[in-house]
Structure 1
Amino acid sequence: MDVQFIIEFVDRLVYEQTGKHLSDVQVEVIYGSWRGQTYVNMSQEPERPESRFAPQYFKDTGYQLFSILTQALRENVKKTNFRSVMERHCPEELLAPFVNQHIDWGGAPTQEFFVGREEKINTLMNWIGEARCRLVAIMGMGGIGKTDLSIVLVRRIRDEFKYIIWRSLLSAPPVTDILADLIKFLSNQQETHLPDTLDSQIDRLLHYLKEQRCLVVLDNAETILQGGSYE
């Protein structure tokens, strides 16, 4: 079971009880508890050198978090039984794609560990969900975790969309190839013969985007925005 789905489930429970999303430290407690770590282990996690909270801080945070979960699930939740409780209660829809949902990750990198940036994730969720922003760009220098951040975001909001497609533009594919790929996916492979002109292809893509809720993620989009020739 993917711990990211558990984080999504816990976030929902905490929000229902408190009106607030998970904090970065609460997410770290979830990760640590899921992996059977002690609070001392969590405070010394080598994969998170930026996290240098004292073990007592993690313990206090865990106590508060598990108290909220105990109230929400009406079952005693603590660090030692956290994983077993979550495996029993986590809804099936979080563990597998919805029956009528179409998801194509298109070679997105496997993500086993991600913690932090909850404030940024919540901001992006609000932009896409409540504010209904049609275009959102995650900008920043290379290597700071934009791809990982977007993967977590997609997992958190996936139930809001019927079609989700992920593509990397790192190799700067021709725009006609990108359009063809998107149109075929959004049409359930029904539309394989595309219009001849670029404008007509864009119109077809917009047609499908207007028909149903679609989430299109273009990773490494800065590649096609750089100077130079591009087909």
Structure 2
Amino acid sequence: MDIKDVLEFTDYLFFSQTGKHIDSLQESILKGTLDGQKYSEIAEAEHCTEGHVRNVASELWQNISSALGEEVNKYNFRRTLQKPNFSITSSSFTKEFINVSNINFCYSNIQQLEIMNNRLAPSPPETSQTQNQSTIINLIEAPELTTFYDRTSELTTLKQWILEDHTRLITIYGLSGIGKSALTVKLIEEINSEFDYIIWKSFNNIPTLSTLQTELKDFFSQSQQTLLSTVIDYFRNSRCLVILDDLQDILKSGELAGQYLPGYEDYSKFFKQITTSPHQSCLILLSWTKPIEIANLETENSSAQTLNLKGLGEEATEILREKGLIDQENWLELITIYQGHPRWLKIIASTIIELFNGSVSLFLAEQNDIYLGDLEPGLESHLDRLSKLEKQVIYWLATQAQPVNISQKPANLVLSKPEFMQAIQSLIRRNLIEKVEGGGRSLFLLNPVFKAYIQFHTTDQLYSI
């Protein structure tokens, strides 16, 4: 896309509405928009306030919208220019005017507009991967969304980050089965029209960065006449949404959380480049664990955000209703015990149907310990990834009846204070322990379901050090 052509075209539109040509700041806004810059970045480059840039941009988009007869804003500007209806035809009234989406322009500019139209018009997308005429979508590796439970707050947050804040890197992490993929599939359903390309890739096959980048470039290039060199180039040239699922599969087991497998360390640099380079796209990572560099990027750059996905609240009653359980007065207690975790609740609901004919009250009667049953394989998959340090600390936490203050290392743990703190931080990033406030201090407790598992099993079998 030639920026000179875009500026001249938008200048025509702006002049048709105001009788004025766009000024240097408005040019910078247009250029910054195409480069994926935030208003704050444009303001810094132009040595003015972000508020002033927003006001000028608002007027600019309003006039362009009026000229084209449709809403145009920072987020759909490029896609609006690429729409097939920007055709150039002679007016039936006079050949001294041309028509672009019902807007008449002086015929003397027709040659330049034809050049621009040819550059902006995209090639027809592949029908097998297309949800609508303007967005090319490949969700072959995404799980099928059969049921979605209310995540209104999380969806609102994600849409704010992507559509308003233009966040470049988003990490959604949480326990397996908590609903990360379902939430993201639902998000795609609601915002797919805001993107030119959407693709879902899984790390199940543990692709190297080189392999992943090649696959992404092949996908982006299928409808473009000019091949670009890097993924970042495509991210700048088009509005792309990329989802990378099961990130934990390229992270080490037996080490502190978030460390990459040998040969996969370059992913860390790639994620940093996505966050710090100006572009108009978004990369979403789905993981059991929060990678180390993601935590660091969050503190350094507002273009990286993390959503720690927790269980459902009362919304989880829909799961129990679908399963046909009875004794609704006990449903919230059951949801609390299993922390609103969708997969856990579905498994336990099947047990209640099998053993108690669907009666929640009978299942809960005289039950002092948390029943695990078929939950155990899923819990083991998390605990098997722990390091030696984490296993020592998590076993100690399983013996504590109340949330603990970690300001002082327990005397019975053969660990240094730094090792103890590292293990706690790593377990937090795995969602195995949680921080709570008590008496103005931060206290920590082990997830009750994992605590029940550890207490139930012989420690010298599973937690021998």
Structure 2: distance between partners of 1:100 and 1:144: 32
Aligned with 1:229 (options 262, 287, 292): 262
Partner of residue 193, structure 2: 159
**Does 2:178 align with 1:144?**
yes
Which runs of structure 2 are paired with 1:133-212 in the superposition (5 Å)? 133-188=167-222, 204-212=230-238
Which of 200, 216, 227 in structure 1 is aligned with 2:242?
A: 216
AA aligned opposite 1:165: I
> Percent of aligned positions with the same letter in both sequences?
34
CA contact (8 A) 1:168 1:220 kept: yes
When residues 143 and 184 of structure 1 are mapped into structure 2, their CA distance, relative to the original with a 3 A threshold, is same
- The Cα offsets for residues 100-120 of structure 1, whole Å up to 9 and x where unpaired, read as 321011321111110111101
Compared with structure 1, are the counterparts of its residues 189 and 179 closer, same or farther at alpha carbon in structure 2 (3 Å cutoff)? farther
The corresponding residue for 2:160 is 126
Shift of 1:222: 2.4
How far 1:171 moved relative to its partner? 2.4
What is the rounded CA distance, in whole Å, between the counterparts of 1:124 and 1:222 in structure 2?
21
| DSSP 3-state at the match of 1:216 | strand
Say if 2:123 is the partner of 1:100: no
Q: Give the alignment of 1:61-76 within 5 angstroms.
A: none
Deviation at 1:142, TM superposition (A): 1.5
Aligned residue type for 2:209: V
The residue type paired with residue 242 of structure 2 is: V
- Asked if structure 2 preserves the Cα contact closer than 8 Å seen for 1:108 and 1:167, the reply is yes
Q: Secondary structure, in 3 states, of the residue corresponding to 1:136?
A: strand
1:77-116 alignment runs, 5 A limit: 97-116=131-150
| CA distance in 2: counterparts of 1:157 and 1:174, whole angstroms | 29
**Cα deviations across residues 175-224 of structure 1 (Å, max 9, x unaligned)?**
11101100011111779x99xxxxxxxx6111111001000010112222
CA offsets 1:82-114 (integer angstroms, 9 cap, x no match): xxxxxxxxxxxxxx7221321011321111110
Deviation at 1:159, TM superposition (A): 0.7
8 A Cα contact 2:199 2:243, kept in partner = yes
1:224 corresponds to which letter in structure 2?
A: I
TM-score, structure 2 normalization: 0.26
Cα RMSD, aligned residues only? 2.2
* Alpha-carbon distance in structure 2 between the residues aligned to 1:123 and 1:100: 25
Provide the secondary structure at the position in 2 that maps to 1:129.
helix
Conserved? CA contact 2:134–2:193, under 8 Å: no
Determine the C-alpha separation between the residues in 1 that align with 2:176 and 2:147: 19
Alpha-carbon deviation of 1:132? 0.5
Matched-pair contact (CA < 8 Å) for 1:184–1:190: no
Question: Which of 1 and 2 has higher RCO (CA within 8 Å, sep 6+)?
Answer: 1
How far apart are the structure 2 equivalents of 1:107 and 1:172? Answer: 13
Instruction: Give the letter for the 1:118 counterpart.
Output: T
- Per the normalisation by structure 1, the TM-score is 0.51
Q: Secondary structure of the residue that 2:143 maps to in structure 1? A: coil
Higher Cα radius of gyration: 2
- Unpaired runs of 5+ residues, structure 1, are 1-95, 195-202
Give yes or no for contact 1:224–1:230 (8 Å, CA) kept in 2.
Answer: no
For the 8 Å contact 1:164–1:216, the answer to whether it is kept is yes
Equivalents in 2 of 1:129, 1:222: separation in Å?
27
SS in structure 2 at match of 1:152: helix
Count of residues in correspondence between the two structures? 127
